[in-house]
Each structure stands twice: as C-alpha cells, then as structure tokens.
C-alpha cells in the first residue's frame, strides 16, 4: 500500500464505498445479473475496480522491471506484491500469474482494510460516548501502565487485556454480515433456499440474545473478561456461533487474528495520546460510509487538565 498514492487511494476508496451499498443490494436481489446491468452502482463499482486492478498491474510491471535490471541486487521491499512476484510453484517452478497476484492484492486492500477500519470506527464510537467514560479511563490507564510511553510491541500486546475486552465487546455489539452461497437446496425454519442463492448470516442476532448475553444492548467490556462472570454464559465459550464476529468454522475469516491485533495496537496508541468524544448529534446507521465517522480527538494533557479543574 505504501507504493500507492495516498490521495488517489482515498479518492478510490470513497468512490468504492459510495457505490457499495446499492451494488451489494442489487447483487443480493439479482445475483450475477447485476454485473451486466448498466445501473449507476454497477457502473461506478466496476469502473473503480478496473482502476485499482490497472494500478496494481503497473506496480507489478515496475517490480518485474526492477528485478530484471538489478537481479539479486534489486531491493527487497518485503511487501506482499514482491513476495508473490518472486514465488514459484515448488513442483513446476512456474511463477504466479499476474491475475492471481492482482486478486490477492485486492483482497488485502479491500477485505483487510474494510474490516479493520469498521471495527475501529465502532470501537471509537462506543468508547467516545459519555456513558462509557469509565471504559475510556480504564483504557487510558492500561495504555499508560503497559506501554510506559512507548509504542506497543509483541511483548506488551498480551498485557493489553482490557483493550482486547473492549474490542471484543464492540465486535459483539456490531458484528458484520457474512455472505455465503447455498451449495444445495435447503430449508431453514420453513424457508426454502434454492441452490445458488446469496445468503447473508447476521451474527448480531445470537450476539444480542438475552439468554446468552444478559442486557445485550448494554456496552459492557467486563462480560468479555475470561476470568469473570459478568454477562458471559459458559456455553458461549464452547459454541462458536454464539460469538462469531468473523464467522465460524472452516470458512471463518483467515485474517481475524491480524485484524484484531491491528485494532488493539491502534486503540492503545490512541488512548495514550487522546481523549475521544463521539458526535452525539450524528445518526449512526452504519460506519462503513464514504465520509467516515465524526469523532473528536482531544489531546490528553489538555483534557486531563480540564478534568482536574472540575475535581477541584
């Protein structure tokens, strides 16, 4: 991603998710037919994808030229694209085709970026709300105690336990939907689903079931304490479907651990430096949108001084 122009990426990202809602709804209703209809969401979505693929292709070509010119002396940037360009099939010795490299790079850019940014957006939304002041205070205290003014590292990540609980509770409150395709005709609760139907599993349903999560609409990170009993039923620990923000089973998100580590590290660094305040006047129908989520960042030194005056 560092080889791609930041302003261009921001513009493309905005275009992509402006078209995303209408395009996805159309795909659910019309299936593959949506890709062949000249509707505005389809035109904008496919045009943006073509632009991204073309840009990645130019990046691949540039890396191949560098390798051809300098051979072993070419700088190894240690990134995904370079690794895939150099990769060979262990049996045939063949290189990966460009189409496969582009598809994998797209997966990292789109799926990897979208999940992390969405989790962080919801996390900041909940932490910045006035009723969660104590949650934010505990996050800041943990960041100060564990990090000691330094950036997070492998040694300190495991000690950010409360930050992990807060992230997991945000994922319980606002999990994503997971799209699947029915591989055969099936009937669920009296509803017949033909083979080939696009199906979205909304894990927000089990995540908000009061039988498993008492007061399910309350943001309570303590329920995610593995040592505690606050709002966490024992069967939740053995039944994957009761807590599945990244889906469950063999088709669960392969990058979920990396995404959660990114979120915890980012949140800890934010809490080191800032106090967050959510804009309560903004209607939150979803956070994955072109112009993002409005959150006020207040430097902690100035915020803490104001809070100190109130205490006096």
Binding-site positions read 253
Nearest Cα to 168, choosing from 293, 284, 257?
257
The three-class DSSP label of residue 128 is coil
Binding residues for heme: 253
48-67 residues labelled b (16+ CB within 10 A) or e (exposed): beeebbebbeebbeebeebb
Nearest Cα to 191, choosing from 183, 202, 199, 180?
199
Helix then strand then coil, % of the chain, to nearest 5: 60, 10, 30
Nearest Cα to 175, choosing from 210, 199, 207, 128?
207
End-to-end Cα spacing for the chain:
49
Token pair recorded at residue 100: 């496969």
Distance CA(287)–CA(115), nearest Å, equals: 11
> Is 193 exposed, middle or buried (CB count within 10 Å of its CB: 0-12, 13-18, 19+)?
middle
Distance CA(120)–CA(111), nearest Å, equals: 14
Please identify which residue in the block is written with the tokens 């943990």.
142
Q: What are phi and psi of 142, to 5 degrees?
A: -65, -45
């Amino acid at each position: 991603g560092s080889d791609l122009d930041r302003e261009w990426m921001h513009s493309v990202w905005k275009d992509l998710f402006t078209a995303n809602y209408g395009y996805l709804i159309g795909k659910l209703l019309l299936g593959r037919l949506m890709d062949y209809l000249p509707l505005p969401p389809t035109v904008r979505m496919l045009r943006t994808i073509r632009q991204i693929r073309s840009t990645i292709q130019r990046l691949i070509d540039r890396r191949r030229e560098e390798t051809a010119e300098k051979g072993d002396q070419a700088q190894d940037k240690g990134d995904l694209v370079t690794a895939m360009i150099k990769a060979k099939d262990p049996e045939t010795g063949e290189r990966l085709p460009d189409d496969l490299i582009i598809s994998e790079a797209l997966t990292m850019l789109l799926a990897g970026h979208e999940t992390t940014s969405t989790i962080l957006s919801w996390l900041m939304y909940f932490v910045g709300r006035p009723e969660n002041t104590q949650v934010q205070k505990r996050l800041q205290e943990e960041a100060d105690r564990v990090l000691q003014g330094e950036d997070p590292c492998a040694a300190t990540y495991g000690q950010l336990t409360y930050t992990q609980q807060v992230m997991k509770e945000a994922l319980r409150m606002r999990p994503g939907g997971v799209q699947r395709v029915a591989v055969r005709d099936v009937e669920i609760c009296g509803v017949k689903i033909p083979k080939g139907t696009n199906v979205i599993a909304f894990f927000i349903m089990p995540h908000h079931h009061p039988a498993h999560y008492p007061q399910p609409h309350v943001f309570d990170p303590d329920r995610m304490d593995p040592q505690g009993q606050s709002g966490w039923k024992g069967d939740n620990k053995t039944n994957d479907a009761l807590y599945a923000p990244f889906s469950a089973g063999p088709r669960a998100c392969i990058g979920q651990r990396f995404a959660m580590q990114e979120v915890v590290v980012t949140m800890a660094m934010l809490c080191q430096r800032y106090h967050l305040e959510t804009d309560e006047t903004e209607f939150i129908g979803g956070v994955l949108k072109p112009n993002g989520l409005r959150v006020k960042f207040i430097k902690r030194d100035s915020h803490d001084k104001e809070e100190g005056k109130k205490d006096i």
